[in-house]
C-alpha cells in the first residue's frame, strides 16, 4: 500500500482519536533508514527529539550491525 496514503490516513485518525482521550503528545521510534516513514512523520508534524543506536544481528549471517533509531515527538 505504499504511496497510496493509507498510512497517513491511519495515523491521522489515530492521532485525532487520541486527542479526545486527553493525550497531549505522541512519540514514535523509527529506523533512520526508513525514509518513507520518517518523511511521513515529519509531514504530520513530528519533530526529532533524540536518537539511539542498537546493535542487532543479521538474520542470515548473525553478524552484528548497528541501527540508528530516531525518536520523534508530536504535541497533540
What does the pLDDT profile of the chain (76 residues) look like in tens digits? 778 889 999 999 988 887 767 788 999 999 999 999 999 999 999 999 999 999 999 999 999 999 999 999 999 8
Note the pTM of the prediction, 2 decimals: 0.83
Q: Does domain 6-75 have CATH number 3.40.50.12280?
A: no
Q: What per-residue confidence (pLDDT) applies to 76?
A: 86
- Give me the residue spans of the domains in the chain: 6-75
Give yes or no for a contact between 26 and 15, defined as CB atoms under 8 angstroms apart. Answer: yes
Dihedral, CA atoms, 44, 33, 48, 50, nearest 10 degrees? 150
Alpha helices in the chain (DSSP H): 6-19, 35-43
**Cell numbers that stand for 56 in this block:** 542487532
Amino acid at each position: 500500500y505504499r504511496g497510496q496514503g493509507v498510512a497517513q490516513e491511519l495515523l491521522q485518525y489515530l492521532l485525532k482519536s487520541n486527542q479526545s482521550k486527553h493525550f497531549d503528545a505522541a512519540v514514535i521510534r523509527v529506523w533512520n533508514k526508513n525514509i518513507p516513514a520518517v518523511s511521513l512523520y515529519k509531514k504530520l508534524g513530528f519533530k526529532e527529539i533524540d536518537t539511539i543506536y542498537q546493535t542487532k544481528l543479521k538474520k542470515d549471517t548473525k553478524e552484528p550491525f548497528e541501527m540508528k533509531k530516531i525518536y520523534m515527538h508530536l504535541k497533540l
